[in-house]
Structure 1
Amino acid sequence: MFNEIKLKDRALSNEKAIEIVEKSSFGILSTIGENGYPYGVPLNYTYFDNCICFHCAREGQKLDNIDFNNKVSFCVVTKSKVLGNEFDTDYESAIAFGNATVITDESEKKDILLSLLNKFSADYLKSGRINVKILIISA
């Protein structure tokens, strides 16, 4: 499906990739639009039930693209440090590929939203229960 990684010593186990995804707070979701252009957007997310989950407005470019083609990639970068004297950057990253799905089940939406709130706004759980769309990326 994808080319093999060139620098084999940088390949991660699934467990290490999940660890990176779990500890980061944002990533870049990449979709493809009807116009043929890729669209990358940074967003907050939670890793819940073996899926990358995020919320969004009820309409917009991201949802239009996912309606057109639900195949997506998601990239997370952590521990970024520029190594000026080496003309390089030291970082950890993980890339996930999958299919994005809008969640309609109210119970599942509630569980994912609570996971998001616990990760980002634990002090505001009550006011954070708003009517939003919840999406997941699954393999």
Structure 2
Amino acid sequence: MFYRMRRSVQQLSAEETEAVLMRGSAGVLALTGDKAFPYAVPISYVYDGDHIYFHSAVEGHKLDAIRRNPNASFAVIDQDEVIPEKYTTAYRSVIAFGSIRIIENDAEKRAAARRLAVKYAPENTEAQHSEMIDRTWERFCILQMSIAHMTGKEGRVLTERRG
């Protein structure tokens, strides 16, 4: 069902792949858009080791696409150093494939919103996180991506640098 990486020497280990997801701050979520056009949207996220969580407005293109087809891919670029003299880049990235659901349960939604708040405002107190979540509660929804397949890859330059 999922392609095997052709250049397996460049494939990141499962631990390295997860580390990229943990330290990333944004990625591109790809969905099936209107009239079979792909719809890819840059988005903030949090990865908890099992799922990837996103926040969204309560209506719009993204939610319409998910309701029609919950299958998605999500890509995070960890490094992208252009090396002009070699006409290449030193890159590291992850792509995850899975299915997205809209979290309806308030306790689940609050827990995922808290994960996002802690990731993006780690210096804030628990009370500040709760206040922000409460203030915006009716204006956002939380999406959960269950991962079916995930791979990480680095460019040849980084593989060679590692030895």
TM-score by length of 1: 0.93
Deviating above 3 A after TM superposition, structure 1's stretches of 4 or more consecutive aligned residues are none
Is residue 116 of structure 2 the alignment partner of residue 112 of structure 1?
Answer: no
Which of the two has greater helix per residue? Answer: 2
Change (3 A) 1:86 1:49: closer
Counterpart residue number, 2:52: 52
Q: 1:136 aligns with which of 140, 144, 148?
A: 144
> What is the CA distance between 1:79 and its match in structure 2?
2.1
CA deviations 1:40-99 (Å, max 9, x no partner) are: 100000012510101000011111111110000000001221111111111210000000
C-alpha distance in 2, partners of 1:113/1:49?
16
Could you say what secondary structure the match of 2:36 adopts?
coil
Could you say what secondary structure the match of 1:52 adopts?
strand
Q: Matched residues, percent identical?
A: 32
Q: Which has the higher contact order (CA 8 A, sep 6+)?
A: 2
RMSD, aligned CA: 1.3
> What is the CA distance between 1:34 and its match in structure 2?
4.1
C-alpha distance in 2, partners of 1:82/1:34?
34
Contact 1:51–1:137 (CA<8 Å) still a contact in 2? yes
Counterpart residue number, 1:62: 62
TM-score by length of 2: 0.80
Runs of 5+ in structure 1 lacking a partner? none
Contact 1:34–1:68 (CA<8 Å) still a contact in 2? no
C-alpha distance in 1, partners of 2:87/2:15?
30
Is residue 7 of structure 2 the alignment partner of residue 7 of structure 1?
Answer: yes
Runs of 5+ in structure 2 lacking a partner? 148-163
C-alpha distance in 2, partners of 1:3/1:47?
23
